[in-house]
Protein backbone atom coordinates (compact mmCIF):
# COMPACT_ATOMS: atom_id res chain seq x y z
CA UNK A 1 0.00 0.00 0.00
CA UNK A 2 1.19 3.51 -0.76
CA UNK A 3 1.68 6.00 1.99
CA UNK A 4 3.98 8.23 3.98
CA UNK A 5 6.24 6.81 6.63
CA UNK A 6 7.67 8.95 9.39
CA UNK A 7 10.23 7.59 11.74
CA UNK A 8 10.74 7.32 14.57
CA UNK A 9 7.33 7.71 16.20
CA UNK A 10 8.89 9.02 19.42
CA UNK A 11 12.27 10.71 19.76
CA UNK A 12 14.08 11.98 22.81
CA UNK A 13 17.14 14.19 22.55
CA UNK A 14 19.28 16.24 24.83
CA UNK A 15 19.24 19.98 24.54
CA UNK A 16 21.88 21.27 22.13
CA UNK A 17 21.88 18.18 19.90
CA UNK A 18 20.79 18.20 16.28
CA UNK A 19 18.24 15.56 15.33
CA UNK A 20 16.94 14.40 11.94
CA UNK A 21 13.37 13.26 11.38
CA UNK A 22 12.72 10.92 8.49
CA UNK A 23 9.87 11.20 5.99
CA UNK A 24 9.51 8.80 3.07
CA UNK A 25 6.61 8.48 0.62
CA UNK A 26 5.87 5.94 -2.11
CA UNK A 27 2.86 7.79 -3.51
CA UNK A 28 4.87 9.35 -6.34
CA UNK A 29 3.82 12.74 -5.02
CA UNK A 30 5.74 15.76 -6.23
CA UNK A 31 5.32 18.06 -3.24
CA UNK A 32 6.24 17.41 0.37
CA UNK A 33 5.73 19.49 3.50
CA UNK A 34 6.79 19.67 7.13
CA UNK A 35 4.43 20.98 9.79
CA UNK A 36 4.84 21.51 13.50
CA UNK A 37 1.93 21.05 15.90
CA UNK A 38 1.98 22.17 19.53
CA UNK A 39 -0.61 20.97 22.07
CA UNK A 40 -4.03 22.42 21.38
CA UNK A 41 -2.78 24.33 18.37
CA UNK A 42 -3.06 24.19 14.63
CA UNK A 43 -0.50 23.26 12.04
CA UNK A 44 2.39 25.60 11.31
CA UNK A 45 4.40 25.17 8.12
CA UNK A 46 8.16 24.74 8.54
CA UNK A 47 9.41 23.94 5.03
CA UNK A 48 7.98 22.68 1.78
CA UNK A 49 9.32 21.30 -1.48
CA UNK A 50 7.50 21.14 -4.77
CA UNK A 51 10.23 19.43 -6.79
CA UNK A 52 13.44 17.55 -6.17
CA UNK A 53 16.46 19.68 -5.21
CA UNK A 54 14.28 22.67 -4.41
CA UNK A 55 12.57 23.76 -1.20
CA UNK A 56 11.16 26.92 0.37
CA UNK A 57 10.87 28.23 3.91
CA UNK A 58 7.49 28.18 5.56
CA UNK A 59 6.26 30.37 8.38
CA UNK A 60 8.55 29.02 11.12
CA UNK A 61 11.73 27.84 9.35
CA UNK A 62 14.23 29.27 11.85
CA UNK A 63 16.21 26.52 13.58
CA UNK A 64 15.26 23.88 11.01
CA UNK A 65 16.83 22.59 7.80
CA UNK A 66 15.70 20.20 5.06
CA UNK A 67 16.94 18.48 1.92
CA UNK A 68 15.14 17.01 -1.07
CA UNK A 69 17.67 14.88 -2.93
CA UNK A 70 15.12 12.25 -3.89
CA UNK A 71 11.45 12.56 -4.79
CA UNK A 72 10.53 10.03 -2.13
CA UNK A 73 12.39 11.57 0.79
CA UNK A 74 12.21 14.88 2.65
CA UNK A 75 14.15 14.69 5.94
CA UNK A 76 13.89 17.47 8.51
CA UNK A 77 16.78 18.41 10.80
CA UNK A 78 15.95 20.16 14.03
CA UNK A 79 19.08 22.08 14.94
CA UNK A 80 20.31 23.33 18.28
CA UNK A 81 19.31 26.81 17.12
CA UNK A 82 15.62 25.91 17.46
CA UNK A 83 14.73 27.40 20.84
CA UNK A 84 11.71 25.27 21.65
CA UNK A 85 11.92 22.04 19.63
CA UNK A 86 9.63 19.84 21.71
CA UNK A 87 6.56 19.29 19.51
CA UNK A 88 4.67 16.91 17.24
CA UNK A 89 6.11 16.98 13.70
CA UNK A 90 3.98 16.04 10.73
CA UNK A 91 5.15 15.35 7.20
CA UNK A 92 2.70 15.54 4.29
CA UNK A 93 2.74 15.13 0.53
CA UNK A 94 0.54 16.03 -2.40
CA UNK A 95 0.45 15.42 -6.12
CA UNK A 96 0.95 18.28 -8.56
CA UNK A 97 -2.44 19.59 -9.58
CA UNK A 98 -4.12 18.13 -6.50
CA UNK A 99 -4.30 20.17 -3.36
CA UNK A 100 -5.32 17.59 -0.76
CA UNK A 101 -2.56 16.37 1.50
CA UNK A 102 -1.67 12.89 2.71
CA UNK A 103 -0.07 13.03 6.15
CA UNK A 104 2.38 10.69 7.83
CA UNK A 105 1.68 9.45 11.34
CA UNK A 106 4.02 12.01 12.87
CA UNK A 107 7.09 12.10 15.10
CA UNK A 108 6.77 13.29 18.66
CA UNK A 109 10.05 14.97 19.61
CA UNK A 110 10.92 15.66 23.21
CA UNK A 111 14.05 17.60 24.08
CA UNK A 112 15.26 17.33 27.64
CA UNK B 1 -1.18 36.90 4.19
CA UNK B 2 -4.31 34.86 3.89
CA UNK B 3 -5.85 33.68 7.13
CA UNK B 4 -8.78 31.54 8.06
CA UNK B 5 -10.61 31.83 11.34
CA UNK B 6 -12.14 28.68 12.72
CA UNK B 7 -14.67 28.63 15.56
CA UNK B 8 -15.26 27.41 18.12
CA UNK B 9 -11.88 26.28 19.40
CA UNK B 10 -13.41 23.62 21.64
CA UNK B 11 -16.81 21.99 21.85
CA UNK B 12 -18.09 19.48 24.39
CA UNK B 13 -21.33 17.70 23.51
CA UNK B 14 -23.39 14.85 24.86
CA UNK B 15 -23.48 11.83 22.60
CA UNK B 16 -26.41 12.21 20.24
CA UNK B 17 -26.26 16.00 20.10
CA UNK B 18 -25.35 17.84 16.92
CA UNK B 19 -22.09 19.70 16.35
CA UNK B 20 -21.02 22.44 13.95
CA UNK B 21 -17.67 24.09 13.26
CA UNK B 22 -17.26 27.18 11.10
CA UNK B 23 -14.43 28.45 8.97
CA UNK B 24 -14.32 32.08 7.81
CA UNK B 25 -12.09 34.01 5.43
CA UNK B 26 -11.91 37.72 4.63
CA UNK B 27 -11.18 36.92 0.99
CA UNK B 28 -12.89 34.79 -1.63
CA UNK B 29 -11.64 31.22 -1.65
CA UNK B 30 -11.03 29.00 -4.66
CA UNK B 31 -11.79 25.94 -2.60
CA UNK B 32 -11.79 24.68 0.97
CA UNK B 33 -10.79 21.36 2.45
CA UNK B 34 -11.65 19.66 5.72
CA UNK B 35 -9.46 17.31 7.72
CA UNK B 36 -10.01 15.25 10.87
CA UNK B 37 -7.29 14.45 13.41
CA UNK B 38 -8.08 11.81 16.02
CA UNK B 39 -6.41 12.22 19.43
CA UNK B 40 -2.77 11.17 19.10
CA UNK B 41 -3.19 10.73 15.35
CA UNK B 42 -2.52 12.63 12.19
CA UNK B 43 -4.84 14.74 10.02
CA UNK B 44 -6.85 12.80 7.46
CA UNK B 45 -8.42 14.44 4.43
CA UNK B 46 -12.21 14.39 4.52
CA UNK B 47 -13.48 16.45 1.61
CA UNK B 48 -12.92 19.38 -0.72
CA UNK B 49 -15.55 21.96 -1.68
CA UNK B 50 -15.15 24.03 -4.81
CA UNK B 51 -18.46 25.48 -5.96
CA UNK B 52 -20.38 28.38 -4.47
CA UNK B 53 -23.17 27.10 -2.23
CA UNK B 54 -21.95 23.52 -2.53
CA UNK B 55 -23.25 20.99 -0.01
CA UNK B 56 -21.75 17.54 0.36
CA UNK B 57 -22.64 14.75 2.76
CA UNK B 58 -20.68 11.87 4.18
CA UNK B 59 -23.03 9.78 6.35
CA UNK B 60 -23.71 12.02 9.38
CA UNK B 61 -21.31 14.77 8.23
CA UNK B 62 -22.58 17.68 6.12
CA UNK B 63 -20.12 20.11 4.55
CA UNK B 64 -21.21 23.45 3.15
CA UNK B 65 -19.44 26.16 1.14
CA UNK B 66 -20.91 29.63 1.41
CA UNK B 67 -22.53 31.40 -1.52
CA UNK B 68 -19.80 34.06 -1.48
CA UNK B 69 -17.10 31.39 -1.08
CA UNK B 70 -15.78 33.09 2.06
CA UNK B 71 -17.00 30.64 4.65
CA UNK B 72 -17.66 26.99 5.21
CA UNK B 73 -19.17 24.75 7.84
CA UNK B 74 -18.99 21.15 8.94
CA UNK B 75 -22.06 19.80 10.72
CA UNK B 76 -22.24 16.44 12.45
CA UNK B 77 -25.68 15.05 13.18
CA UNK B 78 -26.19 12.91 16.27
CA UNK B 79 -22.56 12.77 17.39
CA UNK B 80 -20.96 9.50 18.42
CA UNK B 81 -17.84 8.87 20.50
CA UNK B 82 -16.02 7.98 17.28
CA UNK B 83 -16.42 11.61 16.18
CA UNK B 84 -13.99 12.78 18.87
CA UNK B 85 -11.01 14.67 17.46
CA UNK B 86 -9.93 17.96 15.97
CA UNK B 87 -11.45 19.18 12.74
CA UNK B 88 -9.41 21.53 10.55
CA UNK B 89 -10.39 23.55 7.55
CA UNK B 90 -7.66 24.37 5.03
CA UNK B 91 -7.46 26.75 2.09
CA UNK B 92 -5.08 27.63 -0.70
CA UNK B 93 -3.72 31.17 -0.62
CA UNK B 94 -4.47 33.42 -3.57
CA UNK B 95 -0.85 33.09 -4.68
CA UNK B 96 -1.64 29.39 -5.23
CA UNK B 97 1.80 28.12 -4.24
CA UNK B 98 0.25 24.76 -3.45
CA UNK B 99 0.78 25.07 0.28
CA UNK B 100 -2.38 24.93 2.32
CA UNK B 101 -3.21 27.32 5.11
CA UNK B 102 -4.88 25.54 8.01
CA UNK B 103 -7.39 26.94 10.44
CA UNK B 104 -6.67 26.59 14.15
CA UNK B 105 -9.01 23.63 14.39
CA UNK B 106 -12.06 22.79 16.49
CA UNK B 107 -11.57 20.07 19.09
CA UNK B 108 -14.69 18.01 19.68
CA UNK B 109 -15.24 16.04 22.88
CA UNK B 110 -18.23 13.70 23.07
CA UNK B 111 -19.55 12.50 26.42
CA UNK B 112 -21.08 9.03 26.25
Cα of B82 to nearest chain A Cα, Å: 19
Instruction: Scan residues 54-93 of A and list those with Cβ closer than 8 Å to B.
Output: 56, 58, 90, 92
Rg of chain A taking only CA atoms, in angstroms = 13
pLDDT under 50: residue ranges of chain B: none
Provide, as residue numbers in chain B, all residues whose Cβ is less than 8 Å from the Cβ of A40: 107
Maximum distance among all alpha carbons in chain A? 41
Query: What does the pLDDT look like over A61-80, one tens digit per residue?
Result: 999 999 999 999 999 999 98
Please, how many CA atoms are within 13 Å of residue A70, restricted to the half-sphere of its CB? Answer: 9
Instruction: Reduce the DSSP state of residue A87 to 3 states and report it.
Output: strand
CB contact under 8 A, B43 and A103: yes
CB contact under 8 A, A43 and B102: yes
Portion of chain A with pLDDT greater than 70, in percent = 99
Cα of A99 to nearest chain B Cα, Å: 6
Query: What does the pLDDT look like over A2-28, one tens digit per residue?
Result: 799 999 999 999 998 999 999 999 999
CA distance A48 to A58: 7
Say whether residue B66 is in contact with chain A using an 8 A CB cutoff: no
> How many Cβ contacts (< 8 angstroms) between chains A and B?
48
Amino acid sequence: DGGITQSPKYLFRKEGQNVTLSCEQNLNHDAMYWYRQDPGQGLRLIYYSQIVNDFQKGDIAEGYSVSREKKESFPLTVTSAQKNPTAFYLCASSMAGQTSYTFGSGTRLTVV
Amino acid sequence: GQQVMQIPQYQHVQEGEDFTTYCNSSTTLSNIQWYKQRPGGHPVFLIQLVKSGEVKKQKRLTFQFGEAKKNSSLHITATQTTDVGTYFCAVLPSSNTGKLIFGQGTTLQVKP
